A and B are shown apart, each in its own frame.
Chain A
Amino acid sequence: MNNRLEIKNNQMINASLLFFVITSAQIGVGIHGFQNVVYDSAKQDSWIAVIVSFIFAHIVMFIMIKTLELYGGTNDFYGIHIDIYGKYIGNFFNLIYMFYCTFAFFAVCKNYIEVIVTWVFPQINSQFLYATLFIIVIYAFTGGLRVIIGVSFFSFFFSIWVLPTLLFVLPYANNNHLIPLLNDLMGIIKGTYAMTFTIVGFEIIYTLYPYVKEKKKVQKFAHLGLAGTMAGYLLLMLLAQAFFSGQQLTKTIWPTLSMFSIVRLPFFERIEIFTICSWMMIILPNLCLYMWATYRGLLRMVKISPTKYAWIFSILVIIATLFVRSRAEINMMNNILSKFAFYLVFIYPFVLFLLAWLKKKMTKSKQQVKQP
């Protein structure tokens, strides 16, 4: 294991910050419309599907951290790959993961800009919006990991005000939309699968782990972060289910945003316009963390400065956005991504853990054979 990361103490982050990193990495664009997607299969039990999906996420998170702990906390996902598979195959797997991160980055900004173009500026050239968005992302990214973590921290507090405004929705709620419970188990399973696109983001722990100061507290705060996200998602799911009737919910493209549209504050007529714009603060850590994750992988192959990398990466993504244009194409892209993410985030960690564990056993027994 000679590919250890050497991280100076001043680059490390506190374990407690993981809570904010995990929540802000998970909450992104999926939250706008996940109720619709989940309701399609799980019907009135959608909120149960949300809980079930988070139970899986907790298990996966546990396995992920266990895998990283096998390497003593000095190696990340990419290093583990190289250690297990060797340089070439390992880097090939790294490339797949980097491609996934890039894809996720692309999907986040594509979906967000689609919302802006639909609700706020129907006539604006979306490339202009990408350019503005990426300038901020580059600015945060070149600041280094600690700045990215700072952005995540602030993004959490900038977005928390959104929840109280949804209390205005309560008078319109109808609890009958939530029963009868547990009607269709197959539907719940399908709904759980449909949560994938919304729930992913916590795999950032794979790359972030070596940078955490107190390794023992990682499990605690990472799981707390997941639980925090679940609370938010569950609330939004229950509200949307009570607020919309069944068919109406499946016809509403972004239920979370449509719910805002009924809120009418005395000093603010259309709060959803403001929410959509301020949502940039929420997707910013998403974008930065994915960009950073790909950068960590690339560093294992070529030496490149962060600034140069950020520009090349952004320009490539802007070019890619030219090829996905209509809503139908975006939906197709989301489906592909969620399939991809399901295998990579929910299935692959178990395989990796098994391999890492076997490898460790073998090297240990080899050493034992050599020693006497």
Chain B
Amino acid sequence: MKKPTLIILIFCCTVLLVGCSEERILERLSLPTLIGYDVNEENTEITTTAVIRQVSPEFESRIEIQSATAPTSKGTRIDTNLKTSRKLMAGQLRVILLSENLAKNGIEGALHTTMMNSEISTSVYLAVVEGDTKDLLEYQFPSIKDIGQHIFSLIDQNVDERLTVSSTVHEVSRDLYSPYKNTVIPIIKRQEESIMIKDVGLFHKGKLVGKLPSKDVFYILLARKDVEQGTLELLLPKDGFDIDDSKQELQIDKLPIAIDSLDSKRSIKIVNSDTPEFDLTIKADCRLLEIHRSVEISKMEDLKKIEEAVNKEIKKELERVIKYGQEVGSDVFGFGDYYFTHTRNPHITEEEWSEKFKNMKVNIKTDIRVLRNGVFE
């Protein structure tokens, strides 16, 4: 045989034989799509509940829920493997759920395990469960077939719609390993026969310290960065509007309106670096989506009036949300991030910053413009 032919032959053999090195045949694997971590009261043992999808060639893929308790999460994996007929591979993991208890004790451990494993992608979502994850996952929801996929889609589409914060493993660990930034993770809860993203959890150094309802998420996003789109429902004070409410339909003394396509730009300025004092300016263009039919909006002045009220209301709400963040000591808005990167040699430690953050002053300026309304006045 000629030499080049021989080399080509060896080359082909090696290429084909590589497939035999570590075979992973889909029908012989079980793929956890969701993992939930619980801890006991003393924080000594971890209970892992996994939603496992098993692909089979003949039937629909099966969903299996397994849980195990052990001192380390790797130990629970061994336990779970002992309970399943197929090898566990974590590559398809989409969501990691943490119980509220664990979140209060600190999420670093669970996160570090995930980051160390090269099998698990860093785009996996993290979420906190009110109560125990095991109870949530083992509940028989009549309308949900695959709870792993369901929770993933639930979070994923709401993140896209800016109704909750994106909390992938990467983002959470980025905030966690940054000394002056805190992270937010959505909190989900079972409500009757469905699952809902009820709150958003504010963290300080990896520990859950506070909660805000999901409707406040948009204000966190507004203060955090530029937002390209989003929907907001506001309750404006009724007075000052020319309301033709002869039929007395508007029962409450507030005027509910909805705006969307908020394209916002956020900018921060440090006014005084000792207090510290910040100027937070939010500029946004939006579209009026819903307003009570009795309010006149055809005239220029009417829209101006609405704009003014919207500005005032958003400012008030932002102040409230930031105030809450200060109270619980969780800087999820990125003030610390800005402060440390825009002051040269700040000479203050992390602890000093936490103190300063609680006493900082924020002057909010909003410039929201209602550009258009719908097709019918």
Q: Which of B34-42, B176-184, B270-278 contacts A (4 or more CB under 8 A)?
A: B176-184
A135 to B3, CA, bound (A): 13
B174's partner among A128, A131, A244, A270 (CB-CB below 8 A) is A244
A247's partner among B18, B178, B338, B343 (CB-CB below 8 A) is B178
B11's partner among A121, A136, A244 (CB-CB below 8 A) is A136
Q: Name the residue in A44, A244, A261, A269 with the highest tally of chain B Cβ atoms < 10 Å from its Cβ.
A: A261
Contact B342 A270 (CB under 8 A): no
A263 to B181, CA, bound (A): 24
Contact A248 B168 (CB under 8 A): no
Contact B22 A121 (CB under 8 A): yes
Query: What 0/1 readout, one digit per residue, does chain A (88-124) give for beta carbons within 8 Å of chain B?
Result: 0000000000000000000000000000001101111
Q: Which of A71-79, A172-180, A313-321, A357-365 contacts B (4 or more CB under 8 A)?
A: A172-180
Contact A261 B122 (CB under 8 A): yes
A44 to B337, CA, bound (A): 13
**B140 within 8 Å of A (CB atoms):** no
**B246 within 8 Å of A (CB atoms):** no
| Given A135-B14, A139-B11, A245 and B121 contact (CB-CB distance below 8 Å) | no
**A306 within 8 Å of B (CB atoms):** no
B341's partner among A121, A139, A179 (CB-CB below 8 A) is A179
Contact B174 A261 (CB under 8 A): no
Contact B178 A246 (CB under 8 A): yes
| Chain B: interface residue total (CB-CB under 8 A) | 34
**B61 within 8 Å of A (CB atoms):** no
A residues less than 8 Å from B91 (CB atoms): 269-270
A residues less than 8 Å from B178 (CB atoms): 245-248
- B140, chain A: closest CB distance, angstroms: 30
| Given A176-B338, A179-B342, A245 and B11 contact (CB-CB distance below 8 Å) | no
A136 to B7, CA, bound (A): 9
- B228, chain A: closest CB distance, angstroms: 10
Contact B122 A245 (CB under 8 A): no
**A132 within 8 Å of B (CB atoms):** yes
Contact A139 B7 (CB under 8 A): yes
**A303 within 8 Å of B (CB atoms):** no
A residues less than 8 Å from B345 (CB atoms): 183
| Given A261-B122, A264-B121, A248 and B7 contact (CB-CB distance below 8 Å) | no
Contact B123 A180 (CB under 8 A): no
B residues less than 8 Å from A159 (CB atoms): none
Residue of B nearest to A168 (CB): B123
B residues less than 8 Å from A261 (CB atoms): 121-123, 170
B122's partner among A136, A179, A262 (CB-CB below 8 A) is A262
Query: What 0/1 readout, one digit per residue, does chain A (120-156) give for beta carbons within 8 Å of chain B?
Result: 0111100010011001101100000000000000000
A residues less than 8 Å from B168 (CB atoms): 262
A180 to B338, CA, bound (A): 10
A183's partner among B18, B171, B344 (CB-CB below 8 A) is B344
B residues less than 8 Å from A248 (CB atoms): 173-174, 176-178
B123's partner among A44, A122, A183, A264 (CB-CB below 8 A) is A264
A132's partner among B18, B176, B343 (CB-CB below 8 A) is B18
A270's partner among B121, B170, B171, B173 (CB-CB below 8 A) is B121
Contact A180 B7 (CB under 8 A): no
Query: What 0/1 readout, one digit per residue, does chain B (1-36) give for beta carbons within 8 Å of chain A?
Result: 001000100110010001001100000000000000
Residue of A nearest to B10 (CB): A135
| Given A128-B21, A264-B123, A247 and B177 contact (CB-CB distance below 8 Å) | yes
| Given A124-B22, A180-B344, A270-B91, A118 and B174 contact (CB-CB distance below 8 Å) | no
A244 to B173, CA, bound (A): 9
A246 to B181, CA, bound (A): 11
A residues less than 8 Å from B100 (CB atoms): none
Query: What 0/1 readout, one digit per residue, does chain A (264-278) give for beta carbons within 8 Å of chain B?
Result: 100001100000000
A residues less than 8 Å from B92 (CB atoms): 269
**A258 within 8 Å of B (CB atoms):** yes
| Given A180-B344, A261-B121, A264-B123, A245 and B181 contact (CB-CB distance below 8 Å) | yes
**B118 within 8 Å of A (CB atoms):** yes
- B341, chain A: closest CB distance, angstroms: 4
A277 to B123, CA, bound (A): 21
- B260, chain A: closest CB distance, angstroms: 20
B residues less than 8 Å from A183 (CB atoms): 344-345
B residues less than 8 Å from A269 (CB atoms): 91-92, 121
B residues less than 8 Å from A174 (CB atoms): 337
- A171, chain B: closest CB distance, angstroms: 9
**B175 within 8 Å of A (CB atoms):** yes
- A271, chain B: closest CB distance, angstroms: 10
B residues less than 8 Å from A44 (CB atoms): 341
A307 to B3, CA, bound (A): 11
A180 to B270, CA, bound (A): 14
Interface positions, chain A 213-272, Cβ under 8 Å from B, are 243-248, 251, 258, 261-262, 264, 269-270
Q: Name the residue in B118, B168, B344 with the highest tally of chain A Cβ atoms < 10 Å from its Cβ.
A: B118
Contact A246 B177 (CB under 8 A): yes
Query: What 0/1 readout, one digit per residue, does chain B (63-78) give for beta carbons within 8 Å of chain A?
Result: 0000000000000000
B residues less than 8 Å from A262 (CB atoms): 121-123, 168, 170
A211 to B342, CA, bound (A): 52
Contact B18 A119 (CB under 8 A): no
Contact B177 A245 (CB under 8 A): yes
Closest 3 CB pairs of A and B: A245-B178, A247-B177, A248-B177
Q: List 11 A-B contacts (CB under 8 A).
A: A132-B14, A132-B18, A179-B341, A243-B174, A245-B175, A245-B177, A248-B174, A251-B177, A258-B122, A261-B122, A264-B121
Give me the interface of A with B, judged by CB distance under 8 Å: 44, 118-119, 121-124, 128, 131-132, 135-136, 138-139, 172, 174, 176-177, 179-180, 183, 243-248, 251, 258, 261-262, 264, 269-270, 307
> Besides the contacts A119-B118, A121-B22, A248-B173, what 8 more A-B pairs have beta carbons closer than 8 Å?
A176-B334, A246-B179, A248-B174, A248-B177, A262-B121, A262-B123, A264-B121, A264-B123
Give me the interface of B with A, judged by CB distance under 8 Å: 3, 7, 10-11, 14, 18, 21-22, 91-92, 115, 118, 121-123, 168, 170-171, 173-179, 181, 334, 337-338, 341-345
